[in-house]
Amino acid sequence: MSDDQIPADSKLTNSKRRWADEGKFLTGRTSRPETDRLPPGQHLVKNWPVLDLGEQPVVSTDTWRLQVGGLVETPLDLGWTAFQALEQTTRVSDIHCVTTWSRYDNKWKGVATRDLLDLAMPKAEATHVMLTSYDGYTTNLPLADFAAEDAILATSWEDLPLSREHGGPMRLIVPHLYLWKSAKWLRRIDIMPADAAGFWERNGYSMYGDPWREQRYADD
């Protein structure tokens, strides 16, 4: 499925496009206080809300594959067994959704993005990453952010396999950006020589998405 096939008239899609047009949730705060763990405009939750584009693909670990291509020395095409054989890492991090909720101290297990990049070896001219999911969703981010120390390709949350509704069997987690940058049901990572917009970025949302600068929408 491509971006063109993603449901364009789903309730969530229409709402989030309207929020971008209206600048909804913006507080005007632009910096992160040293003692404040919660980004501006956010509120804490104890559950983990489920947001998607109207489809939760069923991806069996028997057929799951992750491809890494573009500007890399060594393209990768990993099945589940090969992915699980890579060095496994545990991380604990907060997550922040553009719809204003945040959740503290999430425990993840999976493959650190840095370890995957060590295998693929991005070329010198590489600057950005495009992520593609099994439901056709795409999103972009700078290569340096994809390779952040706490970024992880997560297969487990709170010591349990990552559920389908939250992007299982594997999703990206980049804790320092809004959660729409952490693609669920990830199937392909393309390393690029320049930035390019993904699904939400073409629908009024920030190309970067820093919660501490409240970069919810384009040109914020």
Q: What is the pLDDT of residue 146?
A: 98
Q: For residue 109, what are the CA distances in angstroms to 13, 118, 121, 181, 184?
A: 30, 18, 23, 18, 15
Q: Which domains does the chain have, with CATH numbers?
A: 40-57+65-213 (3.90.420.10)
Q: What is the pLDDT of residue 23?
A: 57
Q: Quick one: how far is CA 52 from the chain centroid?
A: 12
CA-CA distance, 104 to 94, in Å (whole number)? 4
Question: 186-192 and 65-70 as β-strands: parallel, antiparallel, unpaired?
Answer: parallel
Q: What is the pLDDT of residue 51?
A: 74
What values do phi and psi take at 92, rounded to 5?
-125, 125
Q: Which residues sit opposite 138 in a β-bridge?
A: 132
Q: What is the pLDDT of residue 11?
A: 52
Pair 61, 80: CB distance under 8 Å: yes
Q: What is the pLDDT of residue 55?
A: 79
Residues of the chain with pLDDT under 50: 1, 15-16, 19, 24-31
Q: What is the pLDDT of residue 167?
A: 96
CA-CA distance, 98 to 177, in Å (whole number)? 9
Q: What is the pLDDT of residue 16?
A: 46
CA-CA distance, 61 to 85, in Å (whole number)? 14
Q: What is the pLDDT of residue 10?
A: 57
Q: What is the pLDDT of residue 24?
A: 44
Q: What is the pLDDT of residue 8?
A: 54
CA-CA distance, 60 to 63, in Å (whole number)? 5
Q: What is the pLDDT of residue 9?
A: 56
Question: 89-96 and 76-79 as β-strands: parallel, antiparallel, unpaired?
Answer: unpaired
Q: What is the pLDDT of residue 2?
A: 54
CA-CA distance, 138 to 37, in Å (whole number)? 28
